[in-house]
Structure 1
């Protein structure tokens, strides 16, 4: 039995976090006069000229996503980091929701809390199988990475989605191929090769770049070590030294600067040191801005050259 307009819009609103477009309502037999009546009675709220909500009050994050795609029309997708957030990416939050739209789409006004990004790419093949119009994870993060001014941000988001086990370097490599041309294609491929080799963070990617540029042997990454306290730990980078020893490099980010973490790091370092294992530390800032100094010290401590790169 066919549902009436009232039952139909309620079912659709339930699937769309309470948001409905005027186009959808018209297709369901709800005309503009009925919409006006609901808004005047304060049962619905006009969020944009094209979209109403069947709830009042501030919109949730999920509702803002629906607001963006419904306002922009049927071809629009939640994209970039907003799509990655839907797929489970953590610690890369941005306040605004990004909606990716076709290049030629005309939008008459801004929507609070929403950023529209235009693309000449076909959006259909990048769409995930979901009731929410959202990009697949891989093209979403690659699209975001490709317009970044910061190389570290572009590399870092790829490391994050792999480290959080949301995708694999192989799948990302395939989407780099499918999305060509990408401005940062070479950089992204190199980063994915390093991630496939074990790099789990942007700082570890910086170490890989340091080794390439200064001709140092690449390190072993995330080596399992049992400290003197019996606890199992993972070291950031390790090199086998010519004399049979091991050099460990631990990389300190902002997290390590807090007093309680600093003390934990001291205890961790002490537990890993042995007669044949040296532990040294550097900061993430040094890797970004003073890589030559770090390279010089690694060479001085016995890390071998590969025969390529420049001397620090």
Structure 2
């Protein structure tokens, strides 16, 4: 019969064996495994329970066990395993899993088939859908980027966030413009139909979709004089922008196409730069991201009005009335 020392040594060896085995299983999943994986590897329920009760491993749900340090993908695996076999990452979470950078989503988005029984999970928003749509089934199950970006834009908390997600996804080349347009055209109802129609067209076609008549009409609707000259140009690196001039007031507005659009900060940056530009002693020059005009137009049109008033003051005259 083994001595106490020998039994302790054997127990220690068994402990190390279990942990080596569990960690090897967890490597592809950033520190987590399922109970089924552990059982299939040869561990008994009792052996698994011992490690959990000792605090060496930690249950994260009905199916998921943490057996090593958690990596950034661990919450995604946990959300999928706890949501059932039909579950897929969707929306912004699917885009992050596909490689989207520069975006932080407060919730994990998981889609499941409508009618399925799914437990509520902290930090996870479940979307029950009749048709989950095309998805990637190997590794982290997730909807394809063209599906995910359209849903992410519809589930976003604001029009600005929706525009940001669409622009960043295209710019980071996670989805092609043809696939995005085809998917958007297949969507029936959307609470953001108008704004997303405009944003997706802007992102896929550059500033060409914001033509002279669009901008002149927007000015006229707000009582702002129409520009005296507008020119659509292409920059040295394919950067498309629309130059707008009010020559008699010394005001120039440069409207940047979506090639300039990098994350949510660009709108705030433009507003801040414009505030500085309004204090210029010569030409007053403003810059406006085209998606800012789509999702947050009023602050920019207020700055245009302020620039025209300031230009008129410097020239010793009041701004002309808007065109009829």
Give the TM-score range, shorter chain: 0.5 to 0.7
Structure-1 separation of matches of 2:135 and 2:238: 40
Aligned residue pairs, count: 273
1:40 matches 2:53: yes
Q: Which residue in the other structure is 1:306 paired with?
A: none
| TM-score w.r.t. length of structure 2 | 0.64
Is the partner of 2:73 in helix, strand or coil? helix
Q: Which residue in the other structure is 1:229 paired with?
A: none
Unaligned runs of 5+ in 1: 226-231, 302-309
Over residues 112-160 of structure 1, what are the superposed CA-to-partner deviations in whole Å (9 max), with x where a residue is unaligned? xx3222131433x432254112222221121121133522322232122
The answer to which of 66-75 and 154-163 deviates more is 154-163
- TM-aligned CA deviation for residue 75 of structure 1: 1.6
Structure-1 separation of matches of 2:44 and 2:218: 65
Structure-2 separation of matches of 1:156 and 1:147: 13
Structure-2 separation of matches of 1:246 and 1:296: 10
Structure-2 separation of matches of 1:209 and 1:88: 35
Is the partner of 1:198 in helix, strand or coil? helix
In structure 2, the CA distance between the partners of 1:237 and 1:98, relative to structure 1 (3 Å rule), is: same
1:160 matches 2:168: yes
1:34-113 alignment runs, 5 A limit: 34-55=47-68, 59-111=70-122
> For the aligned residues, what is the CA RMSD?
4.7
Is the partner of 1:104 in helix, strand or coil? coil
Q: Which residue in the other structure is 2:8 paired with?
A: none
1:1-312 alignment runs, 5 A limit: 11-26=24-39, 28=41, 30-55=43-68, 59-111=70-122, 114-123=123-132, 125-128=133-136, 130-148=138-156, 150-199=158-207, 210=215, 213-214=218-219, 223-224=234-235, 236-239=241-244, 247-249=252-254, 253-255=267-269, 280-281=285-286, 288-290=297-299, 293=302
In structure 2, the CA distance between the partners of 1:152 and 1:96, relative to structure 1 (3 Å rule), is: closer
Is the partner of 1:195 in helix, strand or coil? helix
1:238 touches 1:246 (CA, 8 Å); kept in 2?
no
| TM-score w.r.t. length of structure 1 | 0.66
In structure 2, the CA distance between the partners of 1:128 and 1:208, relative to structure 1 (3 Å rule), is: farther
